[in-house]
Amino acid sequence: MEVLCLWIAIILLAVIITLAVKLYLIRCAVREIITGLEKKLSTDTNAIIYLSSGDKGMRRLASELNVQLKALQKERIRCQQGDVELKRDVTNISHDLRTPLTAIVGYLNILEREKMSPQAQQYLKIISERTSAMKLLTEELLKYSVAVSGDNLSLDTEDVIVNNVLEESISGFYAVLTESGISPEISICEEKVHRMLNKNALSRVFSNIISNAVKYSSGDLCITLTEDGTITFSNSASGLDEISVGRLFDRYYTVETGDRSTGIGLSIARELTEQMGGTISAEYIGERVVINIVF
């Protein structure tokens, strides 16, 4: 009886050891699959998930994952190529439209000096407004396609004093702000804020935000720059709400109060900011639009 119990104990011990080894090998295989999957998804590589384990079930799982990952990679490549082609087409179409639109605007300006009936003058005014809006949209499309390509900024950064660029941008909009009845409150820190940025792109970001404030502001604009590199633009905008402000950076999104707005300006500002390693966000606080930029 004792011998039988001993044999049973030995057999159970052998089974336990075998199962423990099996479980250890499965865990090793799972870790290999996770590592391979993370590498495959994070990098554009043709490498497959490799298993050192001989377990049939785990090898079959790895094989199925490799099949799906190959299909996913093909789809990603197709989407990337389509995105590049779309941006190129937008750029080409914008270029093609600019010339005839410029000519049309020129002839309309000449026609406005001709004598015509009040009704004809009204029709001409409508045509001029629509043509100018289309010309503006075409130019913004071109600028946006260039901005999202990223090629123009990747190798063109320098030590930029953010204070100076911000002051220059505000000065450039002085006449527009005055005509709109806006007297901006400006608070720029005395300490020079140095950042490795593209000066032209930074100026474009500031200009687009100020231009947006002119369109939507209820009559005020506050601009601040702190020593830690945070730039804040805020203005009252009773005609907006949290939903519309949350969509301000969406391409082509406009609100009814936006005069001659294409819905691309703030989208370009976001693209350029992110390309330079910064972050940009918008909030609606107490009927005020608050846009924060951090470099």
Question: For position 1, what pLDDT does the model report?
Answer: 67
> The whole model's pTM is what?
0.55
Q: Name the average pLDDT for the chain.
A: 79
Given a cut of 70, whether residue 269 has pLDDT beyond it is yes
Question: For position 257, what pLDDT does the model report?
Answer: 44
Question: For position 33, what pLDDT does the model report?
Answer: 77
Question: For position 259, what pLDDT does the model report?
Answer: 47
What is the per-residue pLDDT across 8-41, written as a single tens digit (0 to 9) for each? Answer: 778 887 878 887 777 777 777 778 777 777 777 7
Question: For position 228, what pLDDT does the model report?
Answer: 93
Please indicate whether residue 253 or residue 265 has the higher confidence score (pLDDT): 265
What is the per-residue pLDDT across 46-62, written as a single tens digit (0 to 9) for each? Answer: 667 767 777 777 778 77
Residue 260: pLDDT band with limits 50, 70, 90: very low
Question: For position 99, what pLDDT does the model report?
Answer: 67
Given a cut of 50, whether residue 273 has pLDDT beyond it is yes
φ, ψ for residue 272, nearest 5 deg: -65, -40
Q: What whole-number distance in Å separates Cα of residue 260 and Cα of residue 105?
A: 16
Backbone φ/ψ region at 163: left (φ over 0), alpha (ψ -120 to 50), beta = alpha
Question: For position 83, what pLDDT does the model report?
Answer: 67
What is the per-residue pLDDT across 89-120, written as a single tens digit (0 to 9) for each? Answer: 666 676 667 667 777 877 788 888 888 888 88
Architecture of domain 158-294: 2-Layer Sandwich (3.30)
Domain boundaries, the chain: 2-78, 158-294
Question: For position 111, what pLDDT does the model report?
Answer: 83
**What is the edge-to-edge ordering of all strands in the sheet holding 185-188?**
185-188, 222-225, 230-236, 288-294, 279-285
Q: What whole-number distance in Å separates Cα of residue 268 and Cα of residue 201?
A: 10
